[in-house]
Chains A and B, each alone.
Chain A
C-alpha cells in the first residue's frame, strides 16, 4: 500500500494531497475536487466558475501549472485578490495602442508586421496574458481578478491591416485584442468588411467603437451638437448588434481624448469603458472612462516596448 502511494506521488512530479478524503466538497467559498482523467484547469474553470478564462486562478491557488488525473484541487469561488493588491503594491494593466501596422518598410510611425510579430511573441513567451475587454471591465468595476501579467492590445481602425496583418499574428500566438471600428467605414475600399469582423469576433477579438471627430459646437448650437453626438453613440450599437450579434460596450475616443459630456453620454448609452490615448497603465481604481493607453510606434526598440508593459506598481500597503 505504501509503495503504491509512493509510486503514485513520485511520478506525478507535483505535490498531491493524499487520496482517500472526500472526493468533492462544495461550500460558499470554495469547491474541492479530485481531477478525473477528462478534467483540465480550463474545464474546471468552465464548470465551477462559468469562465474558462479563470483557469489561471485555480492554478495559482493550488500552485500548479497542469492538472494530472487524481490531483485534488481547491477552486476558490470568490476572487481572493480583487484588484491585484499585495502587501508590496498593486497590479496595473498596460493597454497597448497600435496606431498602424504595415508590411512595408517606411519612415512613418507605423509598426512593421515583423516587429509586431516579435512583440506578440515576446508577450506570449514571457508570461503575459492578453485579456478581453469584459475581463478588464470586471477588474475595473466588479472586483474581478486578472492574471498577474495581464495586458490588453488595441487598435483604433477599420482599415484592412487589422485583419490582414494583426489578426493572423495574434491568432498564431494565442493572443486576443480589441479593435475599435467606425461602422460607417466597414466595407469601404481598404477597410474590413462585416464577414472579416465576424470572423475575428468569433475568435475572441473584441470589437468596439472608435469615436468620430466632430466639429466643435458654436455656443448657441450645443443642443444640436449633443443630438448628433448621441447619434454617433447609439446608431453604431444597433448596426453592430445587427451585423455581429454581439453587444457593443467599449469606446475609443476620437483623437484619444475625452470630456465630461462624452463620458456622461457614454454612460447613458451603456458603454462600459472609454479608452483615451493618454500614456500610462491602469490599476483597478482607474476611471473606466479615462483608461490610459501606451501608443506603440514603429521606431520603438524592444527595450522601449518593454517599458510600456508595467504590470505592478510597488507601494507599501501594510
Chain B
C-alpha cells in the first residue's frame, strides 16, 4: 500500500490538472501570491491600453504588498503619463476648436478623457461648446447681471432667468466675470414646435389610403417646406396625382388627367406612359369631335366644309375609316356640284382624290375629264384662228388654256412654243427699229 502512494498522488494530480477546466496558468496562479496574480493582470491591462483598469490593479498590488517597488513605480508612471497625455490632448483640442475643426476637437477632448476621465474642461467642451457650435455666446464682463444681459441682448429684462436656466446657472447668484454664456434663441418664431416630419408623412400616407388627394398634396407641401426633397412625401404626392389622374381618365376628363400626370416627378414609374396614353386619348377625342362636326356639315350639304374637316382628320389619322367615308361622301358631292357648275378642273381634281369605287365617282371623273378634253380642243382651235389672224398673244392664251385642261394635248404645246418664239422675234425686231 505504501508503494502505491506516489502513483496515487500522480493520478490525483493529473486528474486535477487535466480533467477539470483549470489551465496551467491557473496552476501557476495557485502557486503564486495574490499580489503576483494581480501584478500579472495589471501588466496585461497596461500593455493592452486599459490604463484606468491597470492603475486600479496596480493599486490592489500595492495594497496587498505595501513595499512593492514595481507597483509604486507603475502607479507613478501611469499617473504622470496620463496627466501629460491629457494636458497635451486638451491643448490640441482647444487648438482644433478655435480653428473651427470640430471633429478633431471632439477627438482630442475624448482622448483627453481617456487619459484623465474627470478632466472638467474637456467635459465642458464636449458637452456644451461642441454641442452648440451654432449657438451665439456671450462672455460675462464686469458689471453684468442676467437682467442686464437680457435687456441688452433681447430688449427684455424678463428673459434673464431663461438665460440662467438655459446655462444651468442659478439666476439668483452673481455671474462670474469671463463666464461664457450660451444665448438661447427666444424669438417667438422659435417657440413654435417644429413639425414632426414622420408624423406628417404618416398623416399623408393615411390620407392617400383614404383617397383624400387634396390633403395629401397639402401635407406633402408642408413637408417640402420643412424638409425639402423628402422622398416619401414626394412619392405620396406623385402617387396621389397618378391615382387622381387615372380617376379623371375614367371620367374621360382627359385634359384634367393630363394636368395631374404632368405634376408627377419624372422618375415616378408609369408617369410617361400615363402622359402618352392620355395624349392619345385626347387626340382620339378631338378626332371624334371633328367627325361629329363633319357629319353635321354633311347633313347640311356644306360639302366643302365637311370635306375640309374630313381631310384634316385624315391628315392626323390616315387610317380613320369614318373620316375616309366622310371624305369620299363630301368630296363626291362637292365634285358633282363643281361639275354641274362647269368648274371642270376643280371637279376633276377633287374627284381624282376620292376612291373611284365610291358611288359613281369614276364615271363622274371620266365625264369631267372628257369635258375638259373637249374644252381643250375648243381652245386649241380658237388659238389656231388667232394664229392665222396673226394675233399671236391671243393664240398663246388659248393654247395655254387648252394645256391646262389637257396637259397631254398633242399639238397645243408645240404650237404655243412656236408662237411664243415668233412673238419674241417680232418684239426683238421692233425694239431694234
Does A172 have its Cβ within 8 Å of any Cβ on chain B?
no
A154 to B100, CA, bound (A): 36
A287 & B113 in contact (Cβ 8 Å cutoff): no
B189-207 interface mask toward A, CB cutoff 8 Å, 1 = contact, 0 = none?
0111111101100100010
CB interface residues, B 110-124, toward A, < 8 Å: 110-111, 113-114, 117-118, 123
Residue of B19, B106, B165, B199 ringed by the most chain A CB atoms within 10 A: B165
B25-41 interface mask toward A, CB cutoff 8 Å, 1 = contact, 0 = none?
11101101110011000
A260 & B166 in contact (Cβ 8 Å cutoff): yes
Chain A residues whose CB sits within 8 angstroms of the CB of B110 once the complex forms: 85, 90, 285, 315, 317
CB interface residues, A 69-107, toward B, < 8 Å: 72, 74, 76, 79-83, 85-87, 90, 107
A85 & B193 in contact (Cβ 8 Å cutoff): no
A219 & B111 in contact (Cβ 8 Å cutoff): no
A32 to B185, CA, bound (A): 52
A3 & B193 in contact (Cβ 8 Å cutoff): no
B188 & A143 in contact (Cβ 8 Å cutoff): no
Chain A residues whose CB sits within 8 angstroms of the CB of B114 once the complex forms: 85-87, 317
Chain B residues whose CB sits within 8 angstroms of the CB of A22 once the complex forms: 64
A17 to B57, CA, bound (A): 14
Chain B residues whose CB sits within 8 angstroms of the CB of A27 once the complex forms: 59, 63
A27 to B75, CA, bound (A): 15
Quote the shortest CB–CB distance from A282 to chain B (angstroms). 11
Chain A residues whose CB sits within 8 angstroms of the CB of B206 once the complex forms: 108
A216 & B198 in contact (Cβ 8 Å cutoff): no
B191 & A82 in contact (Cβ 8 Å cutoff): no
Q: Evaluate whether A255 and B118 lie within 8 angstroms (CB atoms) in the complex, with A30-B60, A109-B202, A261-B162 already known.
A: no
A285 & B126 in contact (Cβ 8 Å cutoff): yes
A10 to B12, CA, bound (A): 11
The number of residues on chain B lying at the interface, defined by a beta carbon within 8 Å of a beta carbon of chain A, is 65
Does B17 have its Cβ within 8 Å of any Cβ on chain A?
yes
A86 to B49, CA, bound (A): 9
B34 & A11 in contact (Cβ 8 Å cutoff): no
Chain B residues whose CB sits within 8 angstroms of the CB of A72 once the complex forms: 34
Of B16, B29, B56, B165, which is within 8 A of A7 by CB?
A: B16
Chain A residues whose CB sits within 8 angstroms of the CB of B34 once the complex forms: 17-18, 21, 72
A9 to B56, CA, bound (A): 25
Of A10, A82, A222, A290, which is within 8 A of B188 by CB?
A: A222
B317-335 interface mask toward A, CB cutoff 8 Å, 1 = contact, 0 = none?
0000000000000000000
Does A316 have its Cβ within 8 Å of any Cβ on chain B?
yes
Chain A residues whose CB sits within 8 angstroms of the CB of B192 once the complex forms: 216-217, 259
Does B84 have its Cβ within 8 Å of any Cβ on chain A?
no
Of B17, B33, B131, B184, which is within 8 A of A264 by CB?
A: B184
Q: Evaluate whether A257 and B117 lie within 8 angstroms (CB atoms) in the complex, with A15-B29, A30-B56 already known.
A: no
CB-CB nearest in chain B for A109? B202
Chain A residues whose CB sits within 8 angstroms of the CB of B126 once the complex forms: 285
Does B127 have its Cβ within 8 Å of any Cβ on chain A?
yes
Chain B residues whose CB sits within 8 angstroms of the CB of A218 once the complex forms: 188
A257 & B196 in contact (Cβ 8 Å cutoff): yes
A85 & B117 in contact (Cβ 8 Å cutoff): yes
A241-257 interface mask toward B, CB cutoff 8 Å, 1 = contact, 0 = none?
00000000000011111
CB-CB nearest in chain A for B113? A85
Does B20 have its Cβ within 8 Å of any Cβ on chain A?
yes
Quote the shortest CB–CB distance from A266 to chain B (angstroms). 8
B56 & A76 in contact (Cβ 8 Å cutoff): yes
A21 & B64 in contact (Cβ 8 Å cutoff): yes
Chain A residues whose CB sits within 8 angstroms of the CB of B9 once the complex forms: 3
A121 to B262, CA, bound (A): 49
A286 & B131 in contact (Cβ 8 Å cutoff): yes
Does A124 have its Cβ within 8 Å of any Cβ on chain B?
no
Does A263 have its Cβ within 8 Å of any Cβ on chain B?
yes
Does B152 have its Cβ within 8 Å of any Cβ on chain A?
no
Of B16, B27, B53, B118, which is within 8 A of A82 by CB?
A: B118
Does A267 have its Cβ within 8 Å of any Cβ on chain B?
yes
CB-CB nearest in chain B for A265? B165
Of B63, B127, B199, which is within 8 A of A255 by CB?
A: B199
B60 & A74 in contact (Cβ 8 Å cutoff): yes
Quote the shortest CB–CB distance from B351 to chain A (angstroms). 68
Of B12, B29, B118, B163, which is within 8 A of A143 by CB?
A: B118
A225 & B191 in contact (Cβ 8 Å cutoff): yes
B60 & A213 in contact (Cβ 8 Å cutoff): no
Of B12, B33, B158, which is within 8 A of A21 by CB?
A: B33
Q: Evaluate whether A11 and B20 lie within 8 angstroms (CB atoms) in the complex, with A216-B193, A261-B184 already known.
A: yes
Does B375 have its Cβ within 8 Å of any Cβ on chain A?
no
Chain B residues whose CB sits within 8 angstroms of the CB of A108 once the complex forms: 202, 206
Chain B residues whose CB sits within 8 angstroms of the CB of A223 once the complex forms: 158
Given contacts A21-B34, A216-B192, 13 further A-B contacts (CB under 8 A): A9-B16, A9-B20, A10-B17, A15-B25, A17-B29, A107-B209, A216-B191, A256-B199, A263-B184, A264-B166, A268-B161, A277-B198, A290-B131
Q: What residues make up the interface of A, taking CB atoms closer than 8 Å to B? A: 3, 5-7, 9-11, 13, 15, 17-18, 21-22, 25, 27, 29-30, 32, 61, 72, 74, 76, 79-83, 85-87, 90, 107-109, 143, 213-214, 216-219, 222-223, 225, 253-257, 259-261, 263-265, 267-268, 277, 285-287, 290, 295, 315-318
27 CB contacts below 8 A, A to B, read A6-B27, A9-B22, A9-B30, A17-B37, A17-B38, A18-B30, A18-B32, A21-B64, A29-B56, A30-B59, A30-B60, A32-B63, A32-B64, A72-B34, A76-B56, A87-B114, A108-B206, A253-B193, A254-B193, A255-B194, A256-B198, A256-B199, A259-B185, A259-B191, A285-B106, A286-B131, A315-B107
